[in-house]
Structure 1
Amino acid sequence: MDWDDLRIFLAVARNESLSGAGRRLGLDASTVGRRIARLEQAVGAVLFAKTPQGYILTTEGGRLVAPAEAAEKAAAAAFEATWRDEGISGQLRIGAPDGCANYLLPQIAHRMSERHPGLEIQIVALPRVVNLSKREADMAIAVSPPETGRLTVQRLSEYHLHLAAHDDYLRSHPPIARLADLRHHRMIGYIPDMIFDRELDYLSETGVEAAAITSNSVSVQMQAIRAGAGLGIVHDFAIPFAPGVRKVLPDEIALTRNFWLLRHADDRASRRMTLLADELGREIRQEIALLEAKPD
């Protein structure tokens, strides 16, 4: 049995589609399909059932997952046994909420790429929790620690958020001297039923009941604020990227949150992944401190 076929099998099992597995592996869907057919012929069993929801493991396919994952770990161990200290190479896929993905990770990825020319960094920005069990990413940044799952969880850094608006909006609307004044202003925030983590329910802490403009994306909210559409809660580390946006009522509305790094429990023995996790953690702490120190 070919390890490369098992690698493709795991990608289909985790993505539940040939095209999704192909994108993850850099192969076209037809090639993935042929390799799965070859593996099924080799083991003498149908491994996937094609349903309207995607490719679902059959009973026989489910039995192959554990041996395939064991082969995956063995292949990773073999790679590390021949790895040299002159640089970390290969692929690193990082899942993150879009605020972190847009305002922190691009410059961090730049610095890490400079240090490790052989490293390919992929940033997955999702308005939801990244599913590590399906290998959507090698590691993920979250705004709260998970309560279930076989994961290694590490607190990375706290960060801060404030109510903010663009100067153009503030000049053309009534002054804001206290919290009660907010009821006369247009608010920007999350779509309520798309808040995937309670830590993102920012507006509830301001006393505002509803927002006039909402999005499931932090970046879209920031662009609306930057366009002068209203006020919203923003990350302090994002303000330097939005000239003209400044904090409003900073003493009355000040939020603190944390970023957490999530890794597969099985990756704890991986020296490569541990080095990358440590480097990513240091970079995030430094970048937050740098950006939050800039005046708005």
Structure 2
Amino acid sequence: MQGCSVDNWDDMRVFLAVARAEGLTGAARTLKMDPSTLGRRIGRLERSVGAALFVKSPQGYALTDLGERMRETATEAERHLLRALDEGQGTSEQLTGQIRIGAPDGAANFVLPQVVAAIQAENPDLEVQILALPRVVNLSRREADMAITVSPPEAGRLTVQKITDYQLHLAMRSDAPPVSALADLRSQRIVGYIPDMIFDKELDYLGALGLTKVDLASNSVAVQLQLIRQGGVGIVHDFALPFAPELQIVLPEQVALQRAFYLVRHTSDRHSERLTRFATELRKRMSEEIAKLERAARLTASGLI
């Protein structure tokens, strides 16, 4: 990168946004700027550097080798900048700035909206973003400030804290023909994950039951819930059941799963008092919200559990 001359941090902010979104449109939404303006800014940055930072195609913007190296450097600089800004907020009673949480879509759809809305209501200058992805969020690339996962990561410079356990059961419409044994499921339309898109072994619910055929599949928990509401049967988070009152738990004694959510952060953020305060509040409120929703599910289970 010899001869590189970057005018200011704002150029790096634009570069990082485009790199993370892998295109102008997503970056424009993040930065609240026009895509054509971002395109001109990237072009100006590449002229300043004297080399291409992205391979541009109809599918999006992919980083060149130089772009990858620049992203690593810019991401590290961003961490230091955010840490410096956090120092100024350390004594503030309220949280401010922007915090992005990556999460699997079960938590993102049924738990996080209530939780982050309550936190933001108490901290009106705080902007919270929920990144719902059917895969593990890449914290090293700063896709998010912190991530919720269904199993603790085993590699990387990460800190992991358990949030809480949660329960899952088989569910189907309450007006469907009764199911009294696992063998009865063979005549039902099974709903589950697309088999080759299960990104974590903890999500392979049906495999443990010996159900290899999935009639209606999606990589989204929220879509699976809607498919079950249309007459299928599948594994549902207990905390999602209050959002689908026409469903009931079936075979609770034969099928009862327990999983856990974990909060994962980049190790370099451990000195950020702002992120630590937010993480503490997030874990507490998520645990309380899941417990509340699961209690509601038990109360409406018609004595089945």
- TM-score (normalised: structure 1): 0.89
Q: Shift of the alpha carbon at 1:54?
A: 4.0
Q: Paired residue for 1:25, among 31, 41, 47?
A: 31
| Equivalent residue in structure 1 for 2:82, among 76, 99, 111 | 76
- Superposed CA deviations along residues 157-192 of structure 1, whole A, max 9, x for unmatched, are 1111011111111xxx2x322222322333222222
Q: Does 1:201 align with 2:204?
A: yes
Q: In the alignment, what sits opposite 1:65? A: 71
Q: Is the 8 A contact 1:165 1:231 kept in 2?
A: yes
Unaligned residue ranges in structure 2 (runs of 5+):
1-6, 301-305
Change (3 A) 1:241 1:207: same
Determine the structure 2 residue equivalent to 1:226.
229
Residue-by-residue CA offset, 1:114-133 (whole Å, 9 max, x unaligned): 11111112112222222223
The more displaced of 60-69 and 17-26 is 60-69
Q: Secondary structure at the match of 2:175?
A: helix
**2:180 matched residue in structure 1:** 177
* C-alpha spacing 1:277/1:176, structure 2 compared with 1 (3 Å): same
CA deviation string 1:5-32 (max 9, x = no partner): 1222222333332333222222222222
The 3 A distance-change label for structure 1 pair 21 and 230 is closer
Give the secondary structure class of the aligned counterpart of 2:171. Answer: strand
Q: CA deviation at 1:59?
A: 4.7
Task: Please list every run of 5 or more consecutive structure 1 residues that lacks an aligned counterpart in the other structure.
Answer: none
**CA positional deviation for 1:211:** 2.7
What SS does structure 2 have at the residue aligned with 1:88?
coil
**How many residue pairs align between the two structures?**
291
How far the C-alpha of 1:254 sits from its partner, in A, is: 0.3
- Which amino acid is 2:28 matched to? G
| Residue 134 of structure 1 pairs with residue 134 of structure 2 | no
- Distance (Å, rounded) in 1 between the aligned partners of 2:181 and 2:37: 62
- 1:272-292 CA-to-partner distances (Å, cap 9, x unmatched) read 111111111111111111111
Work out whether residues 75 and 141 of structure 2, in 8 Å CA contact, stay in contact via their aligned partners in 1.
no
Deviation at 1:203, TM superposition (A): 1.3
Q: How far apart are residue 42 of structure 1 and its match?
A: 4.1
- Partner of residue 147, structure 1: 154
Provide, for residues 85-126 of structure 1, a one-character-per-residue CA deviation record: whole Å limited to 9, x for no partner.
Answer: 221111122111111111101111221111111111211222
Cα distance in 1 for residues equivalent to 2:88 and 2:169: 48
- Equivalent of 1:15 in 17, 21, 30: 21
Q: CA deviation at 1:60?
A: 4.2
Q: Which residue of 1 aligns with 2:94?
A: 87
CA distance in 1 between counterparts of 2:54 and 2:227 reads 45
Alignment of 1:1-296 (within 5 A): 1-50=7-56, 54-83=60-89, 84-169=91-176, 173=177, 175-227=178-230, 229-294=231-296, 295-296=299-300
> For 1:244 and 1:129, how far apart are their aligned partners in 2?
31
Identity of aligned residues (%): 56
TM-score (norm 2): 0.87
Q: Say which SS state the counterpart of residue 109 (structure 1) adopts.
A: helix
**Cα displacement (A) at 1:268:** 1.7
Contact 2:87 2:272 in 1 (8 A): no
AA at the equivalent of 1:120: E
Which segment drifts farther, 196-205 or 206-215?
206-215
* Local SS of the residue matching 1:159: strand
Residues 60/177 of structure 1: CA separation in 2 closer, same or farther (3 Å cut): closer
